[in-house]
Amino acid sequence: MKRFAALFAAIDQTTKTSVKTKAMADYFSHAPDSDKLWCIALFSGRRPKRAVTTTDLRTWAAERAGIPLWLLEESYPIVGDLAETLALILPPPTQTSDHSLSHWIDVLRALHDVPLENRKPRILDAWDRLDTTERFLFNKLITGGFRIGVSRKLMTRALAQATGQPEATLAHKLMGGWTPETTSYHALIEAEDPAADQSRPYPFYLAHQLDGAPDALGDPADWQAEWKWDGIRGQVILRDTAYHVWSRGEELMTDRFPEFARAVDFLPPGTVLDGEIVAWDGSQPLPFNTLQPRIGRKTVPKKLLREAPVILLAYDLLEHNGRDLRDAPLAQRRATLDALLADLPEDAPIRPSPIVPFYTWASLADTRAKARDMRAEGLMLKRTSSPYLSGRKKGDWWKWKLDPLTVDAVMIYAQQGHGRRATLFTDFTFAVWQGNDLVPFTKAYSGLTDKEFEQITRWVRKNTLQRFGPVRQVRPEHVFEIAFEGIHESPRHKSGLALRFPRMARWRQDKSAQDANTLDDLRALLAAYG
């Protein structure tokens, strides 16, 4: 654990990617294999299952520190992280320990087999053997919120330096449904056959946002345009007469989309398609909120299958007859994809995402303006000579999204942020007018500069009307322009509406609260774009 704590400290104390990469490469070169495996798992979002509630942790830590629980609760918003708050309030340890990272994870995993009343002494014993940084990491493992500012790409780069393997090879090995309980470091990283898991997807190629017109991209003839659909990016994998569905977030979603089981009937084994999973009305995608109820389900009832049938709008072919096509140019991959899907049945759950024809950037801009009519968010621009790379690479793939929808709204509640924003009010609730009343309709926490957050924080402290725990009701004076990608009905919200990806576009200090939009304005947007 001390070696892992030293790695965390080295990463936490710098913003230089080269320093972070070197620290991780040193760790992967010298740590025990079991610790290396868990480090890879933690940095790629795989955490041990939680065995203790945060309520119990708060109570036990306050008791051990000899402070009232309310004082811990008041400290938490200031520190901004529960694991760090608990580590800071606990008294110094009376024992020492040289146990490894994997040992302490085994301690946490074993708690699932221990009666609830026997878990507390084991947690207290661990706290009494770990220093402040080690406790912080141990608490992170318990609470399941393990994020320390390292991207998977950076970790893969460090692993490549430590092992001498290419980054692309390692990125593929790290995909899929493995956990430290189901594999070993040798099997995952050192074994020669990275395709042993037949369900394993390929790392996704991600596009950059295009700001402004695409004229600087050069000759339009070198580019392919597609609709940017509003669904779930996914890969459908057909190998050994079985099918698997993976999301871009590397979540196995096969059981949620049984429609794709039929794909094995008309597509050959060794096929991997990349595309957008969308709810489908027979001719075009349905709004994203139609698809959303299926995302969080492990099994899908027949009623939901009828109400939100899905298809894959495929726009890339990554594997064909078992052969990896990612190094081939896009034009070749697309031609093979179109030929593969040309004779599918009319009711097949897979069809090619149409290419959008254009000859000039100006004509494509006119087409892009009609994206919402197609239930799309804008356009994707891809260089026809581009290979299928891993991660977000700048230059060959761009997303040219529509300008967001916007409304002016009044801030009515404020709450402090977390982490480095723990001392600032950054999370706000906004309302629009319904007659003489302000009706809350959305929350937002991004979009302002640090200077603006500092300014609004000073105002919130002086203009608080009531407190509800960490939330403050404030005077309804300030107007913000709220940008969002979509709007749909939601019976769970008082307004009856919900926004997709809301954020603060700007602070409208030139407007008064009476200038804000109305609920009728939102309903008009729903009628036009919902």
Kind and range of the H or E run holding 128? none
Q: How many CA atoms lie within 13 A of 112 on its CB side?
A: 8
Give the DSSP letter of residue 460: H
Cα 457 to Cα 452: distance, rounded to the nearest angstrom = 8
102 φ, ψ (degrees, to nearest 5) = -65, -30
Quickly tell me which residue has 């760090």 as its tokens. 84
> Has 228 been annotated as catalytic?
yes
Residues 442, 498 contacting (CB under 8 angstroms): yes
d(CA 280, CA 288): 10
Q: Return the SS3 of 134.
A: helix
Angle between helices 119-127 and 101-110 (to 10 degrees): 160
CA 309 to CA 281: how far, in whole Å?
8
What is the DSSP code string of 400-422?
Answer: EEPPPEEEEEEEEEEEE-SGGGT
Q: CB neighbours of 356 closer than 8 A, spacing ≥ 6?
A: 225, 226, 227, 364, 367, 379
The answer to whether residues 275 and 310 touch, using CB atoms and an 8 Å cutoff, is: no
φ, ψ of residue 345 in degrees (nearest 5) = -60, 155
| From 36, 228, 401, 443, the catalytic residue | 228
Tell me which residues are annotated as active site: 228
